[in-house]
Structure formats: C-alpha cells, structure tokens
Amino acid sequence: MRLRLVPKETSLDFFRFWKTTFGASVLAMVASVVLFLLVGLNFGIDFLGGTTIRTESSQPVDVGAYRDALDPLGLGDVVITEVFDTNFGPEQNVASVKIQAQEGEEAVSNAVLDEIQGALRAYDSNITFPSVESVGPEVSGELIQTAAIAVVLAIMAVLVYIWLRFEWQFSLGAVAALVHDITLTIGVFALLQIQFDLAIIAALLTIVGYSLNDTVVVFDRVRENLRKFKQRPLVEVLNLSINETLSRTVMTSVTTLLALISLYVLGGDVIRGFVFAMIWGVIVGTYSSVFVASAILLYLGVTRDTSKTDGGAGTQFADIDA
C-alpha cells in the first residue's frame, strides 16, 4: 500500500474565490512594499560594510567559544564561520570573523581590532591573524546594486523564455507570480528583521527557479488540455490542469520542505537566513503558481490554436503519486 498525500483524482475548484485570493495577494504585495519603505531591511555586513578577520590556530575552531569571547565587546553583528580547504594541513584550523562597521566609521578601527584580537587570544593563546580585510560603504552600495540587477535580469529572462515557449498571456502570468514571490519574501524579511545578505540574494534567485518550474508544469498541462478540450471554458480547463498536476506539486513541495526544515533546525546560524528564505519561497511559490499565475491567465484569456496537437507538452511526470 502506497502513501498518498492527495487522492489520485481530485476535482477541487481553485477559482471559486479567485478574485478574493488574487486581491489578497495584491494587498500582501502592497504591504510588503510599505514595510520595505518604512521599516527597511536588516542588511548584513555584505551590504553595510565592515571588517573580515581571518584567524588560524592549531586548536580546532569552536564558533560558540569565539562568539562568547567577543560578545562582551558589544560589536553588533558578528558572523563567525569555519573555513575549510583541502590545502590546509592538520594543524591549520582557520576561521573567518566578520564584524559590521561601527557607527560613524567605514571599517573597524585599529583600537577595536586590538580588543578583538586580545579577546580571542584570551581564549586561545596560539591563535594568529593572517589577514584583515575591510569593506567600505562604497563597495557595499555596489553589491546592493549588482544584486538588484541580478534579480531583475533573472525575471526578464523568464519573461522572454515563457513568451517564446507559450504565449504572452502565459508569460505575464509567470512573471507576475515571480514578482509576487520576491516581493513577499522581501516583505517578510522587513517584517521580521532577519539579516539580509548576499546569501539571501542567492535564495531569491533560487526561489525564481523553483517557482518558475512549478508554474511551467501547470502551464504545460493547461496548453495540452486547451488543445484536447477545445470547447470547454477556460476556467474549467485551468481547474482540470491544476487538479491533474496537484499530485506532482504537493510531492515536490513537501519533499523540498522536509529537507529545508531539517537544514533550518540542524544547520546552524550561518545558513539559517538562507534556509528560511527558501522555506518561505517554496510556500509562496507553490501558492502563486495556482492563485496568481493561473488567475492572470484566466483574466487575460488565451487564444486557442486548434491546428496543433497535444503532443510534446512535456508533462509526462505530472501524475506521479503523492
């Protein structure tokens, strides 16, 4: 007996209250923009500037002990990670200590550096500091600009890809879903004030890929059913297509979330922000594929090309058991 997360055949009406769900999505996006403008993001060292200190010792790196040693200094945001390299010898235990720029300063001052080194030496007398690097506000500003450009270019590439593969109505629906996912992710980071750094930008780009994949699977089945059921109303075709791919959607989302939740609980502070963004992205990405992308398609309508067959739609894996 196989476990099913959803019945083999479903007939859920996803568009019974589509205007309400779409309106709620729009309101959530507006709220996210307001939070971003009024509250702002809790930018990390990558975007605010700061100093990175590289440490090396014959003793194993203990991130918790390093943090306890530095906490009394009141340095603000401190990120400590162990550095691994196959070229390191058995006596080379390397760590990276990132400290945000202090108020009114472009980088950590020499006096503060001396305090940091003294605190770490008090814990480990054998520790050395091979390098100290600072990132100023100018470089941080360039990183913010580059990150924003990367996200915009990814969305534009998706727009062109969907437009070429389907029709412009499908393209606008897919891009609307991506904008929805990214906007809500930024909004929840502004609301919860979770640290926003380059790892979160990587998560946003990953969310774009995940959400797009889910949307394309649904749209492929929609295109196939539009050719198969030429006289059915569009809303019925959309409902049928989503129900037919529901098993695949649920299975993909649940298995992905199981892995992400495990990482969130056991992965530690270093990747927790990234994993949280991915968890949130999977949830809103699954939601937007149905209640945003498909709703846009229903509103705009689509021209049916009856001259083409339904072969080659690429949905042979849409009916896997869930």
Q: Which two tokens stand for residue 81?
A: 């990670």
What pLDDT sits at residue 321? 45
Q: Which residues contact 307 (CB under 8 A, 6 or more apart)?
A: none
Q: Are 186 and 132 in contact (CB under 8 A)?
A: no
What pLDDT sits at residue 31? 95
Q: Is the dihedral of CA 249, 251, 254, 260 positive or negative?
A: negative
Element (H, E) at 83: strand 78-83
What pLDDT sits at residue 317? 44
What pLDDT sits at residue 228? 85
Q: What angle do CA 165, 277, 293 make, to 5 degrees?
A: 30
Q: Are 97 and 53 in contact (CB under 8 A)?
A: yes
For 46, 58, 107, the CA distances from 98, given in Å and listed in that order, are 9, 21, 11
Query: One digit per residue, pLDDT tens: the chain, 322 residues?
Result: 455 666 667 777 888 888 899 999 999 999 999 999 999 888 777 777 778 888 888 888 888 888 888 888 887 778 888 877 667 777 788 888 888 766 656 566 778 888 888 888 888 888 888 888 776 655 556 777 887 888 888 878 877 877 787 788 888 888 898 899 999 999 999 999 888 888 888 888 888 888 888 888 888 888 888 888 888 888 888 888 888 888 888 888 888 999 999 988 887 667 888 899 999 999 999 999 889 988 888 888 877 655 555 444 444 444 444 4
Residue 53: count of CB within 10 angstroms of its CB: 21
Domains, in order of start, for the chain: 18-42+139-300 (1.20.1640.10), 50-135 (3.30.70.3220)
What pLDDT sits at residue 312? 47
How far apart CA 198 and CA 221 sit, in angstroms, is 36
What pLDDT sits at residue 284? 92
Q: Which two tokens stand for residue 230?
A: 């030429």
What pLDDT sits at residue 314? 45
Q: Are 80 and 97 in contact (CB under 8 A)?
A: yes
What pLDDT sits at residue 310? 47
What pLDDT sits at residue 104? 56
Helices (H), 91-197: 110-123, 137-165, 168-192
Specify burial of residue 158 (Cβ count, 10 A radius: 0-12, 13-18, 19+): buried
What pLDDT sits at residue 316? 46
